[in-house]
Structure 1
Amino acid sequence: MKYHFITIEGNIGAGKTTLAHLLSRHYNARLILEEFADNPFLPKFYENPQQYAFPLELFFMAERYKQLKELIHTNDLFQRTTITDYLFTKCLLFAKVNLPEEEYRLYQKLFEIIHQQLVQPELLIYLHAPVERLQQNIKKRNRSYEQHIPDEYLLNIQQTYTNYIKQHNMKTLIVDASNADFLGNPKHLQVIIDALEKDYEPGQHYFTLP
């Protein structure tokens, strides 16, 4: 497997972290996971989005930067591959959905200063699932503050990701995760492992699970 830095992305509840764990175990890769539970503004945001969106997004950006900046200086000989369950650009995509225009423009300026300092992934795996499936997964993992996320919000996030991927020509594997069960069905995980054995042109490449 030739990739040294792989990022897994997708909507809330798409299965990013599960797949990241399984791939890191398979490849003995270093795993960097989003520390969402440490964000004190997250439960407050779901209760009052207008009041808490800006500090929520600032906190996420600072934490993601703190995690990813170590990639610039770290060279682990025993773990040559790094897998993350988020793209740093996620900061900007969620801010675009959550912030009013003036706050978004300020946030964007901060993002652009920080973003250029980070290493970018060689390959993006994007898990695409319909909102109905996302809601099922969200209910199953049972985080109290997530239980009332509106379908409209998930659709908005989905569209924002889709637009970003279409506009940026990075190597992206788009996986139809409508029926994904990476833990319970070894064939689903094998599709991803087989896909990672190949090289790709920049742009989007589509995969379905058996």
Structure 2
Amino acid sequence: MPQVPFIAIEGPIGIGKTSLAKKLSVHFDFHLLKEIVEENPFLGKFYDDIEEWSFQTEMFFLCNRFKQLEDIEQKYLNQNKAVIADYHISKNMIFAKRTLQPDKFDKYEQIYHILTKDMPVPNIMIYLHASLDTVLKRIRLRGRDIEQNIKASYLSQLAQDYETYMNEFEVLHPDIPVIRINGDEMDFVNHQEDLENIINLVKQQMCNHKAISKQ
């Protein structure tokens, strides 16, 4: 685990991960790592026909996120420079379990573990969650064409998958604090007070991390 702050923000599609990452990177002057989404040439087809295009979509995301993290480790974390990311690469397994057929998932899982076994792990996780209504509203507001065909049922399942994943994450990584933010109650984009509350939570965890690192 890196000694400098390496913060990852996770949560379902459209929840506001990138918006929060941008605001926190500006406030703390951390390098911003953004996941590659719209560059995925299979994503539009995936939302139209998940079963047909899931393997190509997930493999593209995995390979690109691996390369991003490899670069971040060399250029920033190993140089003692803090990073905040709008994703954590382990999210790949959330989507893969939901979308891939068992035979393809087995192959995907093997590749995933080979690629990620030496990847840096965040020392703080921020988990954004909200009701389906809030998620759908935010997806409509940002207006990405490729997301307009996402089914509400898929988003609902995904939210449940994230909740299960984050509960398991806290058990498997008790040394990595998880800051949970309810998107139904906090609007950090339009309300500065909500953003300040999140900033204070992050500051508190960074102070705790520094104290542990010095021991």
Provide the TM-score with structure 2 as the length reference. Answer: 0.87
Any conservation in 1 of the 2:14–2:135 contact (CA below 8 Å)? yes
* 2:49 match: 48
Q: 2:197 aligns with which of 191, 195, 200?
A: 191
Shift of 1:78: 9.1
Question: 2: CA distance between counterparts of 1:24 and 1:92?
Answer: 26
State whether structure 2 residue 31 is matched by structure 1 residue 25. Answer: no
Any conservation in 2 of the 1:128–1:175 contact (CA below 8 Å)? yes
* 1:172 match: 178
Shift of 1:10: 0.6
Question: 2: CA distance between counterparts of 1:6 and 1:48?
Answer: 33
State whether structure 2 residue 108 is matched by structure 1 residue 115. Answer: no
| Pairing 1:16-165 to 2, within 5 Å after superposition | 16-75=17-76, 80-165=81-166
Which SS does the other structure have where 1:197 is aligned? Answer: helix
Gaps of 5+ in 1: 202-210
Question: 2: CA distance between counterparts of 1:21 and 1:86?
Answer: 12
Gaps of 5+ in 2: 209-215
Question: 1: CA distance between counterparts of 2:78 and 2:122?
Answer: 18
* 1:208 match: none
| RMSD of Structure 2 on Structure 1 (CA) | 2.1
Question: 2: CA distance between counterparts of 1:59 and 1:78?
Answer: 28
Provide Cα deviations, 1:151-197, integer angstroms capped at 9, x if missing partner: 21112111111111111233211111114322221111111111012
Provide the TM-score with structure 1 as the length reference. Answer: 0.89
Any conservation in 2 of the 1:29–1:79 contact (CA below 8 Å)? no
Shift of 1:101: 1.1
Q: CA 1:49–1:28 in structure 2 vs 1: closer, same or farther (change >3 Å)?
A: same
Give the aligned residue type for 1:107.
Y
Any conservation in 2 of the 1:3–1:123 contact (CA below 8 Å)? no
Which structure shows the bigger proportion of residues in strand conformation? 1
Question: 2: CA distance between counterparts of 1:14 and 1:3?
Answer: 26
Question: 2: CA distance between counterparts of 1:199 and 1:11?
Answer: 23
Give the aligned residue type for 2:191.
N
Which SS does the other structure have where 1:198 is aligned? Answer: helix
Deviates more, 1:68-77 or 1:135-144: 68-77
Deviates more, 1:163-172 or 1:136-145: 163-172
Give the aligned residue type for 2:66.
Y
Any conservation in 2 of the 1:30–1:79 contact (CA below 8 Å)? no
Give the aligned residue type for 2:196.
Q
Question: 1: CA distance between counterparts of 2:205 and 2:185?
Answer: 26
Stretches of 4+ aligned residues off by more than 4 angstroms: 76-79
